[in-house]
Structure formats: C-alpha cells, structure tokens
Amino acid sequence: MKKLLFGETKTEVSEVVLGLMRIAPGSQAKRLMEVGEVEELVHAALESGINMLDIADVYGRGACETLLGEVFARNDGLRDKVFLQSKCGIRKGVDGDITYYDFSKDYILSATDGILQRLQTDHLDCLLLHRPDALMEPEEIAEAFETLKSAGKVLNFGVSNCNPMILERLRRVLPMPLAADQMQLSCAFTPMIDAGVNVNMQNDASVMRDGGTLEYCAMNDITVQAWSSLQHGFFGGVFIGSDEYKELNKVLDRIAAEKNVTPAAVALAWILRYPSKMQAVIGTTNPAHVREAAAAQTFELTRKEWYEIYLSAGNTLP
C-alpha cells in the first residue's frame, strides 16, 4: 500500500485521508453521529491502511472535533495511531453576524488552543489555515506558527485553497516549510488540470484560475490534498452513479471491474496518479465505503486510463 512522507517531520501517511466534516450537523450532515459510530469509522480507516484524519474547527461549529475527541478519550492509544490534521481561520458568524476569515496571530493561537481542547490532545500533527485571508500579514502568521511549534502544539503547517503567489508570499517569511495545500479536485472538477493541457488556447479551459497550483506544489515538495474528491461542482453532489456523468461512470465501472475495485477507488486513484505528492480526502461516514476507498492506494492507473477518465468527464484535448 502506497504511503508518502509528509511535511517537515517526514511522517509516513496514507494517500487517502479520512475527512470528518460530516459527523456532526452543520457541515453537509443531517445528524450528529454517535461516538461509537465515529469510533467504528476511524477503526475501519486504520484497518484499511488510512492513518490520516482531517477535520476543522468550523465543522459543526466545533462539534465534529468534540466528537472525535470523545473517541480518543475512550480508546487508549488511538490518538497515537493517527496523523491528526485540523484547520482554523474561518470565523463563523452567529445570530445573523457575518462569517469572515482571520489569520491574525492572536486568533490562530486561540483557535488552536480550542482545537486541542475539543480533540482532547496535546498536539496536532498538522494545522492548515482554512482558506485565504485577504488581510493576512505573513509576519503575524510566522510568529503564530513559531509559537505553536516551539510549544509542541503543532508539528507541521499548511494552507488550503491558496494559489502559488499566496504560497510564495508565505514561504518567504515562514520559519518552516509549508507541508500541504488543500484544494478542490476530482475527475469531475478539473480546473487545475485543464489549464495545464490547454496552454495558449482560446477556449475556456485554457483560463488558469488557480495560477498553476499543482505545478508549484510539485516543484516545492508541498502535498496537494484534494477535497470533494468524489464530488462535482461546489458541493454539487457525488458523481459516482450520477446520470449527469453517464460516460464517466461507464469508464469508471469498466476499469473498476478490470481491477476488482469500486468505481470510487478508481476515481480516487485518478487523483493520486498525478506525479507529485497527492492525497485524496474522502468524506464518507460509512465504514464499508472507507474500506473501498482505501483500495485506491493499492494500484496505479496507466497513462491511457487516466486520460480516458479525464475525457469521459466531458473534457477535451487540443
């Protein structure tokens, strides 16, 4: 089963990441899961070779972290078996107030303390800044990161949804490398891929909307973590089995049958095939689906298979 070395600590982590956004209401979830259900989900991941968990303080307004913390509390040693990543920086409005982004030093420090308390742990293996703050001051972020690292509260640092210029601006100031950039990517959502294969063309696909994030991260040893890895659009729904993507599903089904895996595993393997440090974040709350997704780490698509999936999703090549 394939692994990658993550961040400054060079920790061996799985290519498939279990995202826990949907274990509590408010984050694309309809109900609060029981502690035992989340426990089963995490154990299913570990048993399948997935050792990295992704969560955020804004998910369920902290309820997701609290629930996971309860799982750790009643399972001695479980925390040490997982690579734990959370995110901060989104200040969710309450009572009709606005939601906004905040990368100030004071907020990063206080938010991280809240995360650790809810998760019932003394450290995060990785902390991501959650979406770009237009008013960010890199020097403040550097001070916050250094304070957290010196205190042993965070071991690795990264960002989400940041383009190369934002990454470069941060990297010029930060006293440590950026480990990851979490970006939306799936075989039914391919803007980062499209611009790279339609260079110098006069079509919509040639518009570089992200500034070349995949290429920049590959050149700077930054792991790209694909979120909504089985969805289309902006939380438009799962494309597996969708009538909107009949040709894509036809190809995924055929390749899945040939490799004795599920179509979802093939779709995740499509992300992992990009020749750089790639991870695919899954958001299922079904242990069986976790096990099926983990199979994406056991095989590699051929170049022809990768392009066939890309084209079947409605893309074209010049």
Does some domain include residue 3? no
Q: What is the pTM of this model?
A: 0.96
Q: Give the Å distances, CA to CA, from 26 to 34, 64, 92, 147.
A: 16, 10, 11, 31
Burial 194-215 (b: 16+ CB within 10 A, else e): bbebbeeeeeebeebebbbbbe
Q: Are residues 113 and 204 in the same domain?
A: no
Range(s) of the domain holding residue 203: 183-318
Please state the separation of Cα 238 from the chain's center in Å. Answer: 16
Domain total for the chain?
2
The pLDDT score that the predictor gives to residue 95 is: 79
Closest CA to 295 of 23, 4, 14: 14
pLDDT score recorded for residue 259: 98
* Tens-binned pLDDT, residue by residue, of the chain (318 aa): 889 999 999 999 999 999 999 999 875 667 889 999 999 999 999 999 999 999 999 999 999 999 999 999 999 999 999 999 999 999 998 878 999 999 999 999 999 999 999 999 999 999 999 999 999 999 999 999 999 999 999 999 999 999 999 999 999 999 999 999 999 999 999 999 999 999 999 999 999 999 999 999 999 999 999 999 999 999 899 999 999 999 999 999 999 999 999 999 999 999 999 999 999 999 999 999 999 999 999 999 999 999 999 999 999 999
CA 219 to chain centre: 19
Determine the pLDDT at residue 26.
Answer: 75
pLDDT at site 28? 65
Q: What is the DSSP letter of 172?
A: T
- 192 CB burial (10 A radius; 0-12, 13-18, 19+): buried
Give the pLDDT score at 30: 73
Asked if residue 4 belongs to a domain, the reply is no
Q: Which pLDDT score, from 0 to 100, does residue 35 have?
A: 96
Both 141 and 281 in a single domain?
Answer: no
Q: Are 22 and 28 in contact (CB under 8 A)?
A: yes
Q: Are 65 and 112 in contact (CB under 8 A)?
A: no
**Of 147, 178, 209, which marks where a domain is finished?**
178
* Predicted local confidence at residue 183, as pLDDT: 98
Does residue 2 lie in a domain region?
Answer: no
What pLDDT does 27 receive? 57
